[in-house]
């Protein structure tokens, strides 16, 4: 990525490449296809897929600083939303409006057993308030153990229920850079407000591994803060807020296509804008008009 960006201390970088070289050293250019540990073997806050190469110390530092930051945060909605617990309701409303037509379009309206994965789930806020309304089973993956424990506690009522119910099933204490989902398990992989913790190469490796976890019509939803230009590096929690063109470039490099994209409305104006991207692994079908196929249940004008 060639656009300029800056960090929270006001330092300007001429490109993301320069910033990553600074933050990760020589491992910034390391292979993006390194082997990842399975959920069962990874440990809390472990250091990343490319850890064994040269310069891995800086990558390890990148991740451990982030984990240390989150370990010091209270396991509450206010905590995981950086003091903006007030956005929970509009966030849930926006996610619901985005996902509902996509589910109908991809999976039809007939009863189906739907399974989702909540990535960087924190205390299970997204799972509890939103995903469990749409999915029969939700797995959570989160590297910070006190968040995951809080999720487990608050979702107790949703566990071990009958076949047809909605339950939180598995809780994996693993960072995304080390996580590989079970093959063909998920209809939707939901990634919200956590992908900024991953440098570009681990972002690409993660999506490439996670593709395998999707069912044939399955898709990803990435819901993230968007920088106006280039990127913004937050030195406190070691996360990067990327611009829309930056994300689109990364999607291309992951071999992902945008099925749908929408802005989150009604956020306080001092916050970053937020976008929701639905991403698929093969090019969405285009109608003769050149438009993407419209979800069957979306509003349409009546023509007589
Ligand atoms: C802003 S909170 C969002 C939590 C949740 N997605 C939500 O919307 O309520 C960011 C979350 O990312 C998690 N996180 C930090 N580093 C991560 C990593 N490398 N992989 C996955 N999640 C990570 C944090 O522990 C925290 O739970």
In this predicted structure, the answer to whether residue 159 has a pLDDT above a threshold of 60 is: no
In a domain, 142, yes or no: yes
| Cα 234 from chain centroid (whole Å) | 18
| Alpha helices per DSSP H over 72-221 | 77-80, 88-107, 125-126, 132-134, 145-154, 200-211
Instruction: Report the C-alpha gap between 245 and 260 in whole angstroms.
Output: 15
In this predicted structure, the answer to whether residue 17 has a pLDDT above a threshold of 60 is: yes
Paired residues of 275 in beta bridges: 224, 263
Ligand 1 pocket, residue 194 CB under 6 Å: yes
Backbone φ, ψ for residue 287 (5° rounding): -75, 170
In a domain, 201, yes or no: yes
Ligand 1 pocket, residue 197 CB under 6 Å: yes
Residue pair 80/192 in contact (Cβ under 8 Å)? The answer is: no
In a domain, 110, yes or no: yes
Q: How far is the CA of 67 from the centre of ligand 1 (A)?
A: 9
**What is the span of the domain harbouring residue 261?**
72-280
In a domain, 188, yes or no: yes
Q: Is 256 annotated as a binding residue?
A: no
Confidence of residue 244 (pLDDT cuts 50, 70, 90): very high
Among 122, 129, 179, name the best residue to mutate to test ligand 1's pocket (greatest count of ligand atoms within 8 A of Cβ): 122
CATH number for the domain including 174? 3.40.50.150
In this predicted structure, the answer to whether residue 47 has a pLDDT above a threshold of 90 is: no
Average pLDDT value over all residues in the chain? 88
Ligand 1 pocket, residue 143 CB under 6 Å: yes
Residue pair 179/39 in contact (Cβ under 8 Å)? The answer is: yes
- 61-83 tens-digit pLDDT: 999 999 999 999 999 999 999 99
Q: How far is the CA of 194 from the centre of ligand 1 (A)?
A: 4
What pLDDT sits at residue 38? 39
**Taking the model in full, what pTM does it have?**
0.88
Q: What is the largest CA-CA distance in the chain?
A: 68
Give the total number of structural domains in the chain: 1
DSSP 8-class letter at 290 = S
In a domain, 229, yes or no: yes
CA-118 nearest atom, ligand 1: 6
Instruction: Report the C-alpha gap between 133 and 269 in whole angstroms.
Output: 29
More confident residue, 29 or 155: 155
What pLDDT sits at residue 161? 54
Q: Is 81 annotated as a binding residue?
A: no
Q: Is 192 annotated as a binding residue?
A: yes
Q: Is 264 annotated as a binding residue?
A: no
Q: What percent of the chain has pLDDT over 70?
A: 83
Confidence of residue 29 (pLDDT cuts 50, 70, 90): low
| Nearest alpha carbon, ligand 1 atom 16 | 197
Q: How far is the CA of 21 from the centre of ligand 1 (A)?
A: 24
More confident residue, 287 or 134: 134
What pLDDT sits at residue 290? 53
What pLDDT sits at residue 31? 40
In a domain, 251, yes or no: yes
Residue pair 122/147 in contact (Cβ under 8 Å)? The answer is: yes
| Nearest alpha carbon, ligand 1 atom 27 | 122
CA-77 nearest atom, ligand 1: 9
């Amino acid at each position: 990525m060639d656009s300029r960006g800056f960090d929270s201390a006001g330092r300007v970088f001429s490109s993301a490449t320069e910033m990553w070289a600074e933050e990760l050293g020589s491992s910034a250019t390391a292979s993006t296809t390194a082997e990842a540990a399975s959920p069962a073997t990874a440990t809390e806050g472990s250091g990343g897929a490319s850890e064994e190469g040269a310069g891995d110390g800086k990558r390890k530092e990148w991740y451990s600083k982030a984990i240390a930051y989150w370990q010091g945060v209270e396991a509450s909605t206010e905590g995981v939303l950086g003091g903006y617990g007030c956005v929970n309701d509009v966030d849930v409303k926006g996610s619901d409006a985005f996902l509902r037509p996509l589910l109908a379009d991809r999976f039809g309206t007939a009863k189906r057993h739907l399974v989702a994965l909540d990535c960087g789930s924190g205390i299970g806020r997204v799972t509890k308030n939103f995903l469990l309304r749409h999915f029969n089973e939700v797995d959570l993956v989160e590297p910070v153990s006190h968040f995951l424990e809080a999720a487990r506690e608050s979702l107790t009522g949703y566990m071990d229920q009958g076949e047809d119910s909605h339950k939180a099933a598995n809780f994996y204490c693993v960072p995304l850079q080390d996580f590989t989902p079970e093959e063909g398990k998920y209809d939707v992989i939901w990634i919200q407000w956590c992908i900024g913790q991953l440098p570009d190469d681990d972002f690409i490796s993660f999506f490439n591994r996670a593709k395998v976890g999707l069912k044939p019509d399955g898709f990803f939803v990435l819901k993230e803060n968007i920088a106006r230009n280039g990127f913004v590096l937050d030195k406190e929690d070691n996360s990067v807020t990327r611009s829309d063109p930056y994300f689109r470039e990364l999607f291309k490099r992951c071999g992902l296509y945008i099925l749908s994209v929408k802005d989150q409305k009604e956020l306080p104006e001092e916050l970053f804008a937020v976008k929701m991207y639905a991403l698929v692994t093969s090019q969405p079908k285009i109608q003769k008009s050149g438009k993407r196929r419209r979800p069957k249940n979306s509003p349409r004008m009546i023509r007589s």
